[in-house]
Structure 1
Amino acid sequence: MTHPVPPELNPKSDLETAQSSSPTLWYLQYWPAILVGLLLSMGIIGLSAEQVPAFAIWLPPVLAVVLLLVAIITAPRVKKPQETPWDKREREAALLAPKVPQAEVSETTTPAADAEATIVEAAPAPKAAPAAIVAGDVDVLVLWGSETGTAQGLAEMTENKLKDAGKTARAVSMGSVKLEQLPGFNKVLILTSTWGDGEPPANAIDLWEACQKQKVDMSKTGFSVLSLGDTAYPEFCKCGKDFDAFLEKMGAQRIYPRVDCDLNYEANFDKWLSGVQQALG
Protein backbone atom coordinates (compact mmCIF):
# COMPACT_ATOMS: atom_id res chain seq x y z
CA MET A 1 0.00 0.00 0.00
CA THR A 2 1.30 3.41 -0.89
CA HIS A 3 0.75 6.42 1.35
CA PRO A 4 0.43 9.91 -0.10
CA VAL A 5 1.99 12.75 1.85
CA PRO A 6 -0.56 13.87 4.49
CA PRO A 7 -2.08 17.30 3.84
CA GLU A 8 -0.05 19.15 6.46
CA LEU A 9 3.14 17.20 6.08
CA ASN A 10 4.75 20.27 4.62
CA PRO A 11 4.88 23.25 6.93
CA LYS A 12 7.69 24.10 9.35
CA SER A 13 10.93 25.98 9.44
CA ASP A 14 14.52 24.99 8.78
CA LEU A 15 15.79 24.25 12.28
CA GLU A 16 18.23 21.50 11.54
CA THR A 17 21.31 23.60 10.98
CA ALA A 18 20.37 26.38 13.39
CA GLN A 19 19.99 23.91 16.26
CA SER A 20 23.03 21.77 15.60
CA SER A 21 25.57 21.11 18.32
CA SER A 22 26.84 24.10 20.29
CA PRO A 23 29.84 26.03 18.85
CA THR A 24 31.52 25.86 22.23
CA LEU A 25 31.83 22.10 21.78
CA TRP A 26 33.29 22.13 18.29
CA TYR A 27 36.18 19.99 19.43
CA LEU A 28 33.81 17.04 19.86
CA GLN A 29 33.72 16.73 16.08
CA TYR A 30 37.41 17.30 15.48
CA TRP A 31 39.16 15.91 18.56
CA PRO A 32 40.44 12.77 16.75
CA ALA A 33 42.30 14.99 14.25
CA ILE A 34 43.56 17.18 17.09
CA LEU A 35 44.72 14.10 18.96
CA VAL A 36 46.67 12.87 15.93
CA GLY A 37 48.22 16.32 15.55
CA LEU A 38 49.33 16.34 19.18
CA LEU A 39 50.84 12.89 18.87
CA LEU A 40 52.74 13.95 15.76
CA SER A 41 53.97 17.01 17.63
CA MET A 42 55.20 14.77 20.40
CA GLY A 43 57.13 12.69 17.90
CA ILE A 44 58.71 15.74 16.32
CA ILE A 45 59.67 17.15 19.72
CA GLY A 46 61.06 13.77 20.71
CA LEU A 47 63.41 13.75 17.71
CA SER A 48 64.87 17.06 18.83
CA ALA A 49 64.80 16.40 22.56
CA GLU A 50 68.25 17.84 23.07
CA GLN A 51 67.13 21.32 21.97
CA VAL A 52 63.94 21.60 24.08
CA PRO A 53 63.19 21.45 27.81
CA ALA A 54 62.30 18.05 29.18
CA PHE A 55 58.72 19.04 30.10
CA ALA A 56 57.94 19.96 26.46
CA ILE A 57 58.30 16.33 25.44
CA TRP A 58 55.40 15.35 27.70
CA LEU A 59 53.19 18.37 26.97
CA PRO A 60 51.50 16.99 23.78
CA PRO A 61 50.46 13.61 25.29
CA VAL A 62 49.18 15.32 28.42
CA LEU A 63 47.09 17.72 26.34
CA ALA A 64 45.82 14.79 24.26
CA VAL A 65 44.70 12.89 27.36
CA VAL A 66 43.01 15.99 28.81
CA LEU A 67 41.17 16.64 25.53
CA LEU A 68 40.02 13.03 25.37
CA LEU A 69 38.68 13.16 28.94
CA VAL A 70 36.86 16.45 28.30
CA ALA A 71 35.27 15.01 25.16
CA ILE A 72 34.12 11.87 27.00
CA ILE A 73 32.65 13.90 29.87
CA THR A 74 30.90 16.59 27.83
CA ALA A 75 29.63 14.56 24.86
CA PRO A 76 26.57 13.16 26.72
CA ARG A 77 25.70 16.69 27.84
CA VAL A 78 25.29 18.08 24.33
CA LYS A 79 21.64 18.99 23.99
CA LYS A 80 19.74 17.08 21.37
CA PRO A 81 18.50 19.15 18.40
CA GLN A 82 14.88 20.19 18.85
CA GLU A 83 13.87 19.44 15.29
CA THR A 84 12.38 15.97 15.11
CA PRO A 85 12.54 13.78 12.01
CA TRP A 86 8.84 14.58 11.53
CA ASP A 87 9.82 18.25 11.19
CA LYS A 88 12.48 17.33 8.64
CA ARG A 89 9.98 15.38 6.55
CA GLU A 90 7.56 18.29 6.61
CA ARG A 91 10.21 20.84 5.68
CA GLU A 92 11.31 18.71 2.74
CA ALA A 93 7.71 18.26 1.62
CA ALA A 94 7.16 22.02 1.88
CA LEU A 95 9.91 22.60 -0.65
CA LEU A 96 8.10 20.32 -3.10
CA ALA A 97 4.60 21.68 -2.45
CA PRO A 98 3.14 23.73 -5.31
CA LYS A 99 2.79 27.43 -4.60
CA VAL A 100 -0.76 28.78 -4.58
CA PRO A 101 -1.04 31.78 -6.90
CA GLN A 102 -2.28 34.97 -5.32
CA ALA A 103 -5.70 36.26 -6.26
CA GLU A 104 -5.60 38.11 -9.53
CA VAL A 105 -6.05 41.87 -9.32
CA SER A 106 -7.83 43.70 -12.10
CA GLU A 107 -7.94 47.43 -12.60
CA THR A 108 -11.10 49.02 -13.90
CA THR A 109 -12.02 52.64 -14.50
CA THR A 110 -15.26 54.43 -13.82
CA PRO A 111 -17.10 56.34 -16.57
CA ALA A 112 -15.53 59.43 -18.15
CA ALA A 113 -17.18 61.76 -15.64
CA ASP A 114 -15.05 60.13 -12.93
CA ALA A 115 -11.42 59.89 -13.91
CA GLU A 116 -10.35 57.93 -10.78
CA ALA A 117 -9.24 54.33 -11.27
CA THR A 118 -10.26 51.74 -8.73
CA ILE A 119 -8.68 48.42 -7.86
CA VAL A 120 -10.97 45.43 -7.66
CA GLU A 121 -9.70 42.30 -5.91
CA ALA A 122 -11.30 38.92 -6.14
CA ALA A 123 -12.65 38.13 -2.68
CA PRO A 124 -11.86 34.59 -1.50
CA ALA A 125 -14.86 32.40 -0.89
CA PRO A 126 -15.49 31.88 2.83
CA LYS A 127 -14.69 28.43 4.14
CA ALA A 128 -17.57 26.50 5.60
CA ALA A 129 -17.07 25.53 9.24
CA PRO A 130 -17.06 21.76 9.82
CA ALA A 131 -20.31 20.42 11.19
CA ALA A 132 -20.36 19.48 14.85
CA ILE A 133 -19.83 15.79 15.46
CA VAL A 134 -22.85 13.90 16.83
CA ALA A 135 -22.54 10.43 18.33
CA GLY A 136 -25.50 8.97 16.47
CA ASP A 137 -24.20 10.12 13.10
CA VAL A 138 -21.13 7.86 12.91
CA ASP A 139 -20.20 4.27 13.67
CA VAL A 140 -16.55 5.12 14.26
CA LEU A 141 -15.05 8.35 15.61
CA VAL A 142 -11.44 8.75 14.44
CA LEU A 143 -9.67 11.25 16.70
CA TRP A 144 -6.30 12.67 15.73
CA GLY A 145 -3.71 14.57 17.75
CA SER A 146 -1.17 16.15 15.45
CA GLU A 147 1.41 18.89 15.76
CA THR A 148 2.60 18.74 12.18
CA GLY A 149 -0.06 16.89 10.19
CA THR A 150 1.20 13.31 10.00
CA ALA A 151 -1.33 11.84 12.43
CA GLN A 152 -4.06 13.90 10.78
CA GLY A 153 -3.21 12.49 7.37
CA LEU A 154 -3.27 8.91 8.69
CA ALA A 155 -6.57 9.56 10.46
CA GLU A 156 -8.14 10.79 7.23
CA MET A 157 -6.83 7.72 5.41
CA THR A 158 -8.38 5.59 8.15
CA GLU A 159 -11.70 7.38 7.70
CA ASN A 160 -11.64 6.76 3.95
CA LYS A 161 -10.76 3.08 4.33
CA LEU A 162 -13.57 2.53 6.82
CA LYS A 163 -16.03 4.32 4.54
CA ASP A 164 -14.92 2.09 1.65
CA ALA A 165 -15.71 -0.88 3.88
CA GLY A 166 -19.24 0.40 4.48
CA LYS A 167 -18.71 2.04 7.87
CA THR A 168 -19.83 5.52 8.80
CA ALA A 169 -16.60 7.09 10.04
CA ARG A 170 -15.39 10.61 10.65
CA ALA A 171 -11.87 11.91 11.37
CA VAL A 172 -11.94 14.78 13.85
CA SER A 173 -9.30 16.84 15.65
CA MET A 174 -9.03 16.15 19.37
CA GLY A 175 -9.46 19.88 19.85
CA SER A 176 -13.00 19.66 18.44
CA VAL A 177 -14.45 17.26 21.01
CA LYS A 178 -15.12 17.26 24.73
CA LEU A 179 -14.31 14.35 26.98
CA GLU A 180 -17.95 13.98 28.06
CA GLN A 181 -18.91 13.35 24.41
CA LEU A 182 -16.78 10.23 24.00
CA PRO A 183 -18.99 7.74 25.90
CA GLY A 184 -21.73 8.38 23.33
CA PHE A 185 -19.68 6.83 20.53
CA ASN A 186 -19.75 3.12 19.88
CA LYS A 187 -16.16 2.96 18.59
CA VAL A 188 -13.32 5.45 19.05
CA LEU A 189 -9.98 5.27 17.27
CA ILE A 190 -7.13 7.52 18.40
CA LEU A 191 -4.14 8.42 16.24
CA THR A 192 -1.69 10.73 17.94
CA SER A 193 1.91 11.83 17.86
CA THR A 194 4.07 12.75 20.85
CA TRP A 195 5.71 16.16 21.08
CA GLY A 196 8.71 17.45 23.04
CA ASP A 197 9.42 15.44 26.18
CA GLY A 198 6.39 13.16 26.03
CA GLU A 199 3.84 15.98 25.69
CA PRO A 200 0.61 15.79 23.66
CA PRO A 201 0.32 17.77 20.41
CA ALA A 202 -1.15 21.28 20.69
CA ASN A 203 -4.63 20.26 19.52
CA ALA A 204 -4.76 17.41 22.07
CA ILE A 205 -3.72 19.35 25.19
CA ASP A 206 -7.23 20.38 26.29
CA LEU A 207 -8.63 16.88 25.89
CA TRP A 208 -5.71 15.33 27.76
CA GLU A 209 -6.00 17.83 30.61
CA ALA A 210 -9.68 16.93 30.88
CA CYS A 211 -8.72 13.25 31.04
CA GLN A 212 -6.52 14.01 34.04
CA LYS A 213 -9.28 15.85 35.89
CA GLN A 214 -12.50 14.02 34.98
CA LYS A 215 -13.86 10.51 34.99
CA VAL A 216 -16.30 9.17 32.41
CA ASP A 217 -17.98 5.82 31.98
CA MET A 218 -16.78 4.37 28.69
CA SER A 219 -17.76 0.77 29.32
CA LYS A 220 -19.92 0.74 26.19
CA THR A 221 -17.18 2.08 23.91
CA GLY A 222 -14.64 0.07 21.93
CA PHE A 223 -11.30 1.66 21.13
CA SER A 224 -7.85 1.27 19.64
CA VAL A 225 -4.81 3.54 19.55
CA LEU A 226 -2.11 4.19 16.95
CA SER A 227 0.74 6.25 18.40
CA LEU A 228 3.49 7.97 16.44
CA GLY A 229 6.94 8.72 17.81
CA ASP A 230 10.68 8.42 17.50
CA THR A 231 12.69 5.78 19.37
CA ALA A 232 15.59 8.23 19.59
CA TYR A 233 13.65 10.05 22.32
CA PRO A 234 13.22 8.65 25.87
CA GLU A 235 9.44 9.22 25.99
CA PHE A 236 8.71 7.17 22.89
CA CYS A 237 5.02 7.41 21.90
CA LYS A 238 4.09 8.56 25.42
CA CYS A 239 0.99 10.50 24.37
CA GLY A 240 -0.55 7.47 22.65
CA LYS A 241 0.32 5.26 25.62
CA ASP A 242 -1.32 7.75 28.00
CA PHE A 243 -4.59 7.87 26.05
CA ASP A 244 -4.58 4.09 25.74
CA ALA A 245 -4.17 3.66 29.50
CA PHE A 246 -6.84 6.28 30.25
CA LEU A 247 -9.48 4.68 28.03
CA GLU A 248 -8.79 1.27 29.52
CA LYS A 249 -9.07 2.73 33.04
CA MET A 250 -12.44 4.28 32.17
CA GLY A 251 -13.74 0.83 31.19
CA ALA A 252 -13.51 1.10 27.40
CA GLN A 253 -13.04 -2.19 25.56
CA ARG A 254 -9.88 -2.51 23.46
CA ILE A 255 -10.90 -3.87 20.05
CA TYR A 256 -7.30 -4.08 18.81
CA PRO A 257 -3.98 -3.67 20.66
CA ARG A 258 -2.20 -0.32 20.58
CA VAL A 259 0.49 -0.05 17.90
CA ASP A 260 3.49 2.23 18.44
CA CYS A 261 5.16 3.55 15.29
CA ASP A 262 8.71 4.78 14.78
CA LEU A 263 9.67 7.07 11.90
CA ASN A 264 9.04 4.41 9.26
CA TYR A 265 5.40 4.05 10.24
CA GLU A 266 3.88 2.70 7.02
CA ALA A 267 4.07 -1.03 7.78
CA ASN A 268 2.84 -0.63 11.35
CA PHE A 269 0.02 1.67 10.23
CA ASP A 270 -1.12 -0.89 7.63
CA LYS A 271 -0.98 -3.63 10.27
CA TRP A 272 -2.99 -1.58 12.76
CA LEU A 273 -5.62 -0.48 10.22
CA SER A 274 -6.05 -4.04 8.93
CA GLY A 275 -6.50 -5.33 12.48
CA VAL A 276 -9.01 -2.61 13.33
CA GLN A 277 -11.04 -3.29 10.18
CA GLN A 278 -11.20 -6.98 11.00
CA ALA A 279 -12.26 -6.19 14.58
CA LEU A 280 -15.00 -3.87 13.36
CA GLY A 281 -16.27 -6.57 11.01
Structure 2
Amino acid sequence: MKHVDLAFGTVYGSAQFVAETLADELADLGYSVRLWQSHELNDFTPSNEGLLILVSSTTGSGDLPEDIQSWYYRIQSTAPYLPGLHYSVIGLGDSSYSEFCGAGEKLDALFTELGAKRVLPLLRIDAMETMEPELEAKTWLTQWHQQVQHGLND
Protein backbone atom coordinates (compact mmCIF):
# COMPACT_ATOMS: atom_id res chain seq x y z
CA MET A 1 0.00 0.00 0.00
CA LYS A 2 1.48 3.32 -1.07
CA HIS A 3 1.42 6.25 1.34
CA VAL A 4 0.30 9.75 0.32
CA ASP A 5 0.86 12.90 2.32
CA LEU A 6 -1.73 15.56 1.62
CA ALA A 7 -1.43 19.20 2.72
CA PHE A 8 -3.51 22.27 2.00
CA GLY A 9 -3.54 26.02 2.30
CA THR A 10 -6.94 27.63 2.52
CA VAL A 11 -8.65 30.91 3.36
CA TYR A 12 -12.37 30.17 3.19
CA GLY A 13 -12.25 26.37 3.31
CA SER A 14 -12.48 25.38 -0.37
CA ALA A 15 -8.93 24.01 -0.57
CA GLN A 16 -9.44 22.13 2.68
CA PHE A 17 -12.66 20.58 1.36
CA VAL A 18 -10.86 19.55 -1.86
CA ALA A 19 -8.04 17.99 0.20
CA GLU A 20 -10.51 16.14 2.44
CA THR A 21 -12.37 14.86 -0.62
CA LEU A 22 -9.11 13.64 -2.15
CA ALA A 23 -8.10 11.96 1.12
CA ASP A 24 -11.35 9.98 1.11
CA GLU A 25 -10.96 9.07 -2.57
CA LEU A 26 -7.32 8.00 -2.06
CA ALA A 27 -8.32 5.78 0.86
CA ASP A 28 -11.02 4.20 -1.32
CA LEU A 29 -8.31 3.50 -3.93
CA GLY A 30 -6.26 1.64 -1.32
CA TYR A 31 -3.70 4.29 -0.40
CA SER A 32 -2.56 5.03 3.12
CA VAL A 33 -3.27 8.77 3.51
CA ARG A 34 -2.14 11.41 5.99
CA LEU A 35 -4.04 14.68 5.72
CA TRP A 36 -1.90 17.32 7.41
CA GLN A 37 -3.83 20.06 9.18
CA SER A 38 -2.29 23.54 9.10
CA HIS A 39 -1.32 23.44 12.81
CA GLU A 40 0.60 20.18 12.19
CA LEU A 41 2.66 21.36 9.23
CA ASN A 42 5.56 22.82 11.21
CA ASP A 43 6.56 19.25 12.11
CA PHE A 44 6.20 17.96 8.56
CA THR A 45 8.96 17.51 6.02
CA PRO A 46 7.95 15.33 3.06
CA SER A 47 9.61 11.93 2.82
CA ASN A 48 12.24 11.66 0.13
CA GLU A 49 10.61 8.40 -0.98
CA GLY A 50 6.99 9.48 -0.77
CA LEU A 51 4.00 10.82 -2.61
CA LEU A 52 2.80 14.34 -1.84
CA ILE A 53 -0.29 16.22 -3.00
CA LEU A 54 -0.62 19.91 -2.19
CA VAL A 55 -3.88 21.84 -2.56
CA SER A 56 -3.83 25.61 -2.19
CA SER A 57 -6.03 28.58 -2.82
CA THR A 58 -4.44 31.90 -3.75
CA THR A 59 -4.79 35.18 -1.88
CA GLY A 60 -3.82 38.77 -2.52
CA SER A 61 -1.36 39.13 -5.37
CA GLY A 62 -0.70 35.45 -5.91
CA ASP A 63 0.17 34.80 -2.27
CA LEU A 64 -0.06 31.65 -0.22
CA PRO A 65 -2.82 31.46 2.40
CA GLU A 66 -1.62 32.31 5.91
CA ASP A 67 -2.17 28.78 7.21
CA ILE A 68 0.51 27.34 4.90
CA GLN A 69 2.95 30.27 4.66
CA SER A 70 5.20 29.39 7.60
CA TRP A 71 5.54 25.79 6.40
CA TYR A 72 6.37 26.96 2.87
CA TYR A 73 9.05 29.35 4.14
CA ARG A 74 10.52 26.71 6.47
CA ILE A 75 10.80 24.18 3.63
CA GLN A 76 12.24 26.90 1.38
CA SER A 77 14.87 27.93 3.94
CA THR A 78 15.89 24.40 5.00
CA ALA A 79 15.86 23.27 1.36
CA PRO A 80 15.79 19.50 1.85
CA TYR A 81 16.98 17.66 -1.25
CA LEU A 82 14.03 15.46 -2.29
CA PRO A 83 14.87 13.65 -5.54
CA GLY A 84 12.83 10.59 -4.50
CA LEU A 85 9.67 12.56 -3.76
CA HIS A 86 6.84 12.50 -6.30
CA TYR A 87 4.46 15.41 -5.90
CA SER A 88 1.49 17.15 -7.44
CA VAL A 89 -0.09 20.54 -6.85
CA ILE A 90 -3.70 21.61 -7.23
CA GLY A 91 -4.14 25.38 -7.34
CA LEU A 92 -7.48 27.05 -6.72
CA GLY A 93 -7.90 30.55 -8.01
CA ASP A 94 -9.91 33.08 -9.93
CA SER A 95 -8.84 33.80 -13.51
CA SER A 96 -10.17 37.36 -13.26
CA TYR A 97 -7.07 38.13 -11.16
CA SER A 98 -3.64 38.63 -12.75
CA GLU A 99 -1.95 36.19 -10.36
CA PHE A 100 -4.29 33.29 -11.12
CA CYS A 101 -3.25 30.23 -9.06
CA GLY A 102 -0.08 32.02 -7.94
CA ALA A 103 0.14 30.06 -4.68
CA GLY A 104 -0.01 26.76 -6.58
CA GLU A 105 2.71 27.99 -8.92
CA LYS A 106 4.92 28.90 -5.94
CA LEU A 107 4.47 25.48 -4.38
CA ASP A 108 5.15 23.76 -7.70
CA ALA A 109 8.32 25.81 -8.26
CA LEU A 110 9.58 25.14 -4.71
CA PHE A 111 9.30 21.37 -4.98
CA THR A 112 10.89 21.39 -8.43
CA GLU A 113 13.82 23.34 -6.95
CA LEU A 114 14.14 20.71 -4.21
CA GLY A 115 14.63 18.02 -6.86
CA ALA A 116 11.21 16.43 -6.44
CA LYS A 117 9.42 15.02 -9.48
CA ARG A 118 5.94 15.97 -10.64
CA VAL A 119 3.43 13.17 -11.07
CA LEU A 120 1.22 15.48 -13.17
CA PRO A 121 1.48 19.16 -14.14
CA LEU A 122 -0.09 21.79 -11.87
CA LEU A 123 -3.88 21.56 -11.95
CA ARG A 124 -5.44 25.03 -12.01
CA ILE A 125 -9.07 25.12 -10.90
CA ASP A 126 -10.81 28.36 -11.84
CA ALA A 127 -13.56 29.70 -9.56
CA MET A 128 -14.95 31.55 -12.58
CA GLU A 129 -15.67 28.20 -14.26
CA THR A 130 -16.63 25.84 -11.46
CA MET A 131 -18.55 26.06 -8.22
CA GLU A 132 -17.44 22.58 -7.11
CA PRO A 133 -13.65 22.35 -7.32
CA GLU A 134 -13.69 18.98 -5.59
CA LEU A 135 -15.34 17.45 -8.68
CA GLU A 136 -12.50 18.61 -10.92
CA ALA A 137 -10.02 17.34 -8.36
CA LYS A 138 -11.70 13.91 -8.31
CA THR A 139 -11.50 13.71 -12.11
CA TRP A 140 -7.82 14.71 -11.95
CA LEU A 141 -7.21 12.05 -9.28
CA THR A 142 -8.21 9.33 -11.74
CA GLN A 143 -5.36 10.39 -14.02
CA TRP A 144 -2.99 10.78 -11.04
CA HIS A 145 -3.80 7.27 -9.81
CA GLN A 146 -3.21 5.78 -13.28
CA GLN A 147 0.17 7.52 -13.47
CA VAL A 148 1.19 6.23 -10.03
CA GLN A 149 -0.02 2.68 -10.79
CA HIS A 150 1.79 2.52 -14.13
CA GLY A 151 5.08 3.65 -12.68
CA LEU A 152 6.63 6.94 -11.88
CA ASN A 153 9.52 8.28 -13.87
CA ASP A 154 12.61 8.58 -11.69
User: TM-score range, shorter-chain basis?
Assistant: 0.7 to 0.9
How much has 1:183 moved relative to structure 2? Answer: 3.0
Query: Which one of 118, 121, 128 corresponds to residue 254 of structure 1?
Result: 118
How much has 1:217 moved relative to structure 2? Answer: 1.0
1:278 aligns with 2:142: no
Deviation by residue 1:137-160 (Cα, 9 ceiling, x = unmatched): x70001111111111111111011
Structure 2 CA distance for aligned equivalents of residues 175 and 206 of structure 1: 10
Instruction: Tell me the SS of whatever aligns to 2:47.
Output: helix
Q: CA 1:153–1:180 in structure 2 vs 1: closer, same or farther (change >3 Å)?
A: closer
State the structure with bigger RCO (CA 8 A, min sep 6), 1 or 2.
2
Which residue pairs with 1:197 in the alignment?
61
Query: Which one of 64, 85, 89 corresponds to residue 221 of structure 1?
Result: 85
Query: Which one of 7, 31, 37 corresponds to residue 143 of structure 1?
Result: 7
More helix by percentage: 1
How much has 1:180 moved relative to structure 2? Answer: 6.3
How much has 1:213 moved relative to structure 2? Answer: 2.1
TM-score, length-scaled by structure 2: 0.85
Structure 1 CA distance for aligned equivalents of residues 65 and 99 of structure 2: 14
Structure 1 unaligned segments of length 5 or more: list them: 1-137
Structure 1 CA distance for aligned equivalents of residues 134 and 102 of structure 2: 19
Instruction: Tell me the SS of whatever aligns to 1:183.
Output: coil
Report the count of equivalent residues.
Answer: 144
Aligned-partner residue type, residue 142 of structure 2: S
Structure 1 CA distance for aligned equivalents of residues 102 and 43 of structure 2: 19
Query: Which one of 184, 188, 200 corresponds to residue 52 of structure 2?
Result: 188
Structure 1 CA distance for aligned equivalents of residues 49 and 12 of structure 2: 27
Q: CA 1:250–1:229 in structure 2 vs 1: closer, same or farther (change >3 Å)?
A: same
Which residue pairs with 1:157 in the alignment?
21
How much has 1:253 moved relative to structure 2? Answer: 1.1
Q: Percent of aligned pairs with the same residue?
A: 26
How much has 1:235 moved relative to structure 2? Answer: 0.8
Structure 2 CA distance for aligned equivalents of residues 185 and 192 of structure 1: 22
Q: CA 1:277–1:185 in structure 2 vs 1: closer, same or farther (change >3 Å)?
A: same
Higher Cα Rg, which structure: 1
Structure 2 unaligned segments of length 5 or more: list them: 150-154
TM-score, length-scaled by structure 1: 0.48
More strand by percentage: 2
Give the root-mean-square deviation of aligned CA atoms: 1.9
Structure 2 CA distance for aligned equivalents of residues 168 and 212 of structure 1: 26
